[in-house]
Amino acid sequence: MSVDLDAKIRHAPRSPGVYLMKGAEGEILYVGKARNLKARIRAYFTRTDSRAMIPFLVSRVRDVAFVITETEKEALILENNLIKEHRPRYNVDFRDDKAYFHIRIDPSEAFPRFQLVRRHKRDGARYFGPYPSSAAAKETLRFLQTICPLRTCRDRELRGRRRPCIEREIGRCAAPCVGLIDSVAYQGLVKDAVSFLEGRGKALIVELRKRMEAASEALRYEEAAALRDRIAAIEQTLEKQRIVSMTGQGDRDVFGLHREEDWTQVFALFVRGGRVVDQRAFPLIRLRAETGELLSTLLVRYYDGAAEIPDEIVLPLRPEGSEVMAEWLTEKRGRSVNFLVPKRGESRALLGIAQRNAENTLRTARLADHRPEEALRLLAEKLGLGRPPSRIECFDISNLGGRYAVGSLVAFREGLPAKERYRRFRIRTVPGADDYAMMYEVLKRRYAGREALPDLIVVDGGKGQLGVAMAVLRDLAIEGVDVIGLAKERDEPAVGPSRLSPPGISETAEAPEAPADAVLYRLHPSARGRKGAGTPSPDGGGRQSAMGGRSEDRVYLPGRKDPIYLSRWPAALFLLQQIRDEAHRFALAYHRKVKEKEDLGSLLDQIPGIGAMRKKALLIHFGDVRRVRAASIQDLQQVEGIGREMAGRIREFLDAGNPTGRAQ
C-alpha cells in the first residue's frame, strides 16, 4: 500500500457517500456506496471483508476517491449513475439497459388509443407492463384491439378522416373519426380495456354478460352478438393463465436467483392484479461477488429504467441496503414499495417457481456452451495431463454409516457418457464407515485385470481419495494413467486421518484437518441426497462457507499441495461436474436399491415360519418393504405359499413392530 493511499484511507470521511477505487492507470476498478465511508474502506484493506473478490480487487487498487452525500439514498442514486457511466471491472455489469415496452392509454382524452412506449412518464396516463419483448407487447395489443376496438390512428388523422379506414372494415376499430360511436360509448370500451389490463378479467366478464342480456332483451341482436364474442375471447385468454394468485390482488415482482460458481442467473415473474402476466430471464451475470450486492445492483439498475414499480418486490434474501432502496423506490413511484422475503404461503410458492426457472435457465445456458472437444483440450492444458483424455472413468462411494455400502464407476468417451462401460460394486471387505478403504476396494477390483485402462481416472473427493487412487495404481504397477480428485469444500474431512486406512496409504496422503465449526453450503444439485450434505444457503445457491472461504469445486493433482480452481474455464469445469454428478447419481441409485432389498429381507427373516422360499415369493410379489407393511391379510394371501393362517401371523408380526403401517 502506498503512503498516499494509506493516508487517504486513514483520513477518509465518516459520512455517507460513494467511493471509487482506481488502478495504476487511473481507471476505475470499483464503485461502492456506504453509510460510513471510512469504516467501509478500512474493511477492504484490513481483511475484515470476507468477500471472495476482495483480494483480487485490493491487489490492484492504487488510489481511492470519495464523493460525500447528504443521505444514503443520494449515495445509492450516485453509485448507480457512476456504475452505468464507467462500467467498472469489479462491479456487477448489468448491460441490459434498454427500456421495456409498456402499453399506454390516456383516459382523459376524448377518444383514447393504445400506444406502445418504452418510457414511463408521469403524465396522468395509464401504463401497463413491462413486456420484455416487442412481440409480447404487440400480441397483447392485437388481442385488446379485437375485444376493445379503440382507434389506432394518430390525432391528426382522427381529425382529418372523412370515411372509415380498413381497421373498421375488419372489426378492429369503432371508427370515432366518422361518428360511428359517441364519446360515452367509446369511454365504455376504454374502461373495459383498462379493466382487462388491470387483471380484472372475471369482473369484466360479469359486466359484459349483463350488457349482452340487456341488449338481447332490447332486441339489439348485433350488439349482443358482439358482446358474446368479446366474452368468449376473454374467457379463452383467462384459461391460459395457469398460474393464478388466489388470495392477494396486489402487484408484485418476484425475483428468483440461482448461483453456480461465478455464474448468477435471475428470473422474474410479474404479478399484476393477482395474476402472473409475464416472466423474464435476465442476462447471465459472471462475477465473483456477494449475492446481496449482485441483487441490489440489479434491482437498482432495473427499476432506474422504465420498469413499472409494483407494490411489493419478492426476493430470496434482503439485498444490500434494502431500507434505502425501498425509500428510493417509494419516492420514485409515489406510493409505498415493500421488500418481502417469504417463508411460507403463496409468495413463497411463486418464489419457488422463479428460483426453479432461474436454475433451469442457467443450466440450459451452460449446456449450450458445452463443447466436449474444447473441454477435453482445456482439461489437458490446465491440469497438465499428458494428452486430452478421450476415455475418462469416475468413481464414487455411497453408504449410510458403513451400511449398504456400494461403489459406482461411470465412463465417458470423447466427453459423452459410455453407459455400456458403467459398473456398480457391492463393498465386500470393509467393516464400518471407512470411505477410503471402500474406494481402495472398488478401484482395485476394477483395475486388477488391467482391462481397457482409461486415459484419466477421477475420484469424487479430495487429497485422501486421490491418495487412495495413487496407492491402487502403485500396488498394481499401473503407469501412464492420469489421476485427479474432484472435491467441494465440504468433501474434506472435519477430523484427522481415517481410522481405518487402506493398505499402502500413508498418513500424509490423507486430507488436512478442517475447522470443526466450518458450516459449508451446497452449491450444486449433485449434493442432493449425499451423506453429510448441507442445506442450501438462503441466497439460492451459495458461494462461500460460513468461514468466508471458497466453496467451489477444486481439482487435486498428484504431487501438488494446493488444488486447482477451474472456474475461469467453465467448459472444463462443467465436464468434470457432469461426470462427477453422473457417478454420484449412479452410486446413490444402487445404494437405495440395496437398502430397500436388505431392509425388506431383514424384516422377513424375523417372522417365524418364513423361510427362503416364502421370503423370495414375498419379495417378488410386493417388491419393497413399504408395500409389505401396508398389505392386508387378503393381500398377503395372494402370494404363492401364503395361506390365511400364515398371512395372519405375518400381519400380527408387522402390527406389533409397526402399528401404524397397516393398511385399513
Cβ neighbours around 112 below 10 Å, total? 21
Print burial letters for 348-363: b (CB count within 10 Å at least 16), e (below 16).
Answer: eebbebbbebbbebbb
Q: Can you list the domains of the chain with their CATH numbers? A: 3-86 (3.40.1440.10), 101-239 (no CATH), 252-368 (3.30.420), 372-588 (3.30.420.340), 606-657 (1.10.150.20)
CA neighbor of 293 nearest in space, from 92, 148, 146, 470: 92
Contact 392, 410 (CB under 8 A): no
Contact 378, 571 (CB under 8 A): yes
- Residue 158's pLDDT is what? 76
Beta-carbon-side half-sphere exposure of residue 154 (alpha carbons within 13 Å) = 2
Cβ neighbours around 563 below 10 Å, total? 18
Q: Strands 28-34 and 17-22: what pairing?
A: antiparallel
pLDDT category at 424 given cuts 50, 70, 90 is: very high
Task: Write the pLDDT tens digit of every residue in 51-101.
Answer: 666 777 888 888 888 888 878 878 887 887 788 778 887 776 655 545 567
pLDDT category at 148 given cuts 50, 70, 90 is: confident
pLDDT at 500 over 50: no
- Judged by average pLDDT, the poorest of 431-440, 441-450, 620-629, 630-639 is 620-629
CA neighbor of 487 nearest in space, from 468, 500, 471, 473: 468
Task: Write the pLDDT tens digit of every residue in 103-115.
Answer: 888 878 888 888 8
Q: What is the mean pLDDT of residues 158-169?
A: 77
The type of residue at 543 is R
The type of residue at 600 is L
Q: How far apart are CA 285 and CA 358, in angstroms?
A: 12
Chain position carrying cell 456477494: 290
Q: Strands 115-117 and 63-68: what pairing?
A: unpaired
pLDDT category at 398 given cuts 50, 70, 90 is: very high
pLDDT at 157 over 80: no
Handedness of CA 307, 313, 318, 324 (dihedral sign): positive
pLDDT at 519 over 80: no
What angle in degrees, to the nearest 10, is found between the helix axes of 435-447 and 463-475? 40
pLDDT category at 313 given cuts 50, 70, 90 is: very high
Looking at the chain, the whole-number percentage of residues with pLDDT higher than 90 is 16
What is the DSSP code string of 483-513?
EEEEE-GGGS-SSSS-SSPPTT--GGGSPPP
Contact 496, 513 (CB under 8 A): yes
Q: Rounded to an integer, what is the distance from CA 179 to the centroid of its chain?
A: 55
pLDDT at 638 over 80: yes
Q: How far apart are CA 149 and CA 172, in angstroms?
A: 5
- Residue 133's pLDDT is what? 61
Contact 631, 663 (CB under 8 A): yes
CA neighbor of 405 nearest in space, from 436, 380, 430, 374: 430
* 616 grid coordinates: 423370495
pLDDT at 406 over 80: yes
Element (H, E) at 453: none
Chain position carrying cell 459398473: 423
Handedness of CA 298, 303, 308, 310 (dihedral sign): positive
Cis bond before residue 130 (omega within 30° of 0) = yes
- Judged by average pLDDT, the poorest of 400-414, 475-489, 510-524 is 510-524
pLDDT at 454 over 90: yes
What angle in degrees, to the nearest 10, is found between the helix axes of 134-147 and 221-239? 150
Task: Write the pLDDT tens digit of every residue in 280-296.
Answer: 888 888 777 778 888 88
CA distances from 102 to 96, 98, 124, 273, 303 (A): 17, 13, 15, 16, 14
Q: What is the mean pLDDT of residues 254-273?
A: 84
- Residue 437's pLDDT is what? 93
Print burial letters for 472-481: b (CB count within 10 Å at least 16), e (below 16).
Answer: bbebeeeeeb
Beta strands in 293-385, from DSSP E residues, in sequence order = 312-314, 338-340
What angle in degrees, to the nearest 10, is found between the helix axes of 37-45 and 3-10? 140
Which has the higher per-residue pLDDT, 355 or 494? 355
Q: What is the mean pLDDT of residues 371-381?
A: 86
- Judged by average pLDDT, the poorest of 374-383, 443-452, 594-603 is 594-603
- Residue 249's pLDDT is what? 58
pLDDT at 49 over 80: no
pLDDT category at 172 given cuts 50, 70, 90 is: confident
- Residue 135's pLDDT is what? 66
* 365 grid coordinates: 445456458
Which has the higher per-residue pLDDT, 627 or 588? 588
Q: How far apart are CA 204 and CA 231, in angstroms?
A: 9
* Average pLDDT value over all residues in the chain: 76
pLDDT category at 236 given cuts 50, 70, 90 is: low
- Residue 32's pLDDT is what? 86
